[in-house]
Structure formats: C-alpha cells, structure tokens
Amino acid sequence: MSGMRDDIETILLTEEQLRQRTAELGAAISADFAGREPLFVGVLKGCFVFMADLMRCVTIPCSVEFMAVSSYANQTTTTGAVKINKDLNRDIEGRDIILVEDILDSGVTLHYLTEYLGVRKPASITIVTLLDKPSRRRAPVYAAYAGFEVPDAFVVGYGLDYAEKYRNLPFIGVLKPEIYR
Ligand code: IMP
Ligand code: MG
C-alpha cells in the first residue's frame, strides 16, 4: 500500500516554515487590530489547520466563526461558481471581519465572499490567506496578509486537499500530476 507521501513530488513549505510565517502573521494582525476586537471568519474546509495555528498566535480579544463554501467539484481548476454551504449565523454589522483562507487562486471565491458579506455592512473586511498564487488571478482581490507566494502548481497538505485527501499532511507539497491527470 502506498502512502500519501509517495504522491508528493516536492515539499514546498516545511512544518518549520509554516510555523514561523504563521507566527509572523498572527503578530502583525494583533498589532494592526489592537483595540478593535475583530471577528475571524474561516472559509472551510481548507482553512482549518492554518486557522487553528494562526489563532493561537493572535494575542488580542477576538471571536471566531466559520463559513463553508465550495467552488471545486473534485477538480483542480475552479468552475467559477461559488456555493455557500454554511453561512454565518450572527450579525456582522459594524464588525471588523477578517476572512481566513488557505489559498487565493483565481480569486473567485474571495471576491464573491467579500461582496456577499459586504451587503451586511461590516465596518471592514480584511483578507488573510496562507498561500497566494498571483499568476492565476481572474477576480480583483486584495489580501492584506499573505503567507507565501506559490507557483502555479497544485499543492496539498496543511488543510489543502485534492478530492478531500491530503489535508492531514503537516507540510505543503506539490502533488504529482499523474495523481490528478
Ligand atoms: P479561487 O476561488 O480560485 O481563488 O480558489 C480558492 C479555493 O480553491 C481554495 O480555497 C482552495 O480550496 C482551492 N484551491 C485552489 N488552488 C488549490 C491548490 O493548489 N490546492 C488545493 N486547493 C486549491
Ligand atoms: Mg478552500
């Protein structure tokens, strides 16, 4: 039986790199939002590992909520359609929202979410993404906090999946193309 590790072509980001960068992002957000008590909104499912680590590096009072969206049906490129599978169940009017994503790829998901939540009149919406693939952008999205720029390759691990697998890898790696070809 072959292990998950055999499906990885190269390790892009090690556990140590992820730990250190997440701590930097947490410290920056804590300084920038001091006195504002932001509401972190995680975009499930990909955010769950990064967000758990990020929140423990945030030192200011805050609260946490989740939304679940899907835009990919076991494919490696976006369909362009975003479906809300779980919405927020509290009022966000006047709140400083920090959207937490695993990866900003085409930007379709975060562009849609920003518009969708903007209607509810939050004080602000700020994006934090662990990974950024700027070469693939199709929708105008600005991430105030981005952990790492990654090349145009399909990556998995640390919350990111391919067909719901590999989320539990502790590092981020490039998936061997023959796995999804
Ligand atoms: P966007 O709407 O194209 O920006 O896509 C964002 C979503 O696509 C992310 O939240 C991921 O779930 C998924 N995604 C995009 N690129 C990758 C990748 O390289 N690996 C795993 N998931 C990805
Ligand atoms: Mg995702």
Atom of ligand 1 nearest to the CA of 105: 4
- Residue 81's pLDDT is 78
CATH, range 2-163+171-176? 3.40.50.2020
**In the chain, domain spans:** 2-163+171-176
Confidence of residue 1 (pLDDT cuts 50, 70, 90): very low
- Each residue's pLDDT tens digit, 152-161: 999 999 999 9
CA 159 / ligand 2 centre spacing (Å): 8
What dihedral angle (degrees, nearest 10) is formed by the CA atoms of 75, 77, 80, 84? 50
- Cα–Cα distance for residue pair 143/45, rounded to 1 Å: 19
Q: To 5 degrees, how large is the angle CA 136–CA 161–CA 132?
A: 30
Separation of CA 50 from chain center:
7
Across the chain, what does the average pLDDT equal? 94
For residue 19, what are its two tokens?
């730990």
CA 30 / ligand 2 centre spacing (Å): 24
Q: Best mutation site among 105, 113, 142 for ligand 1, i.e. most ligand atoms within 8 A of its Cβ?
A: 105
Q: Is 178 helix (H, G, I), strand (E, B) or coil?
A: helix
User: What residues does ligand 1 touch, defined as CB less than 6 Å away?
Assistant: 46, 71-72, 78, 101-109, 154-156, 160
- Residue 178's pLDDT is 93
pTM score, whole prediction? 0.94
Q: Minimal CA–CA distance to 39: which of 68, 57, 62, 61?
A: 62
- Residue 155's pLDDT is 97
- Each residue's pLDDT tens digit, 30-80: 999 999 999 999 999 999 999 999 999 999 999 999 999 987 555 666 566
Q: Residues with beta carbon < 5 A to ion ligand 2? A: 46, 102
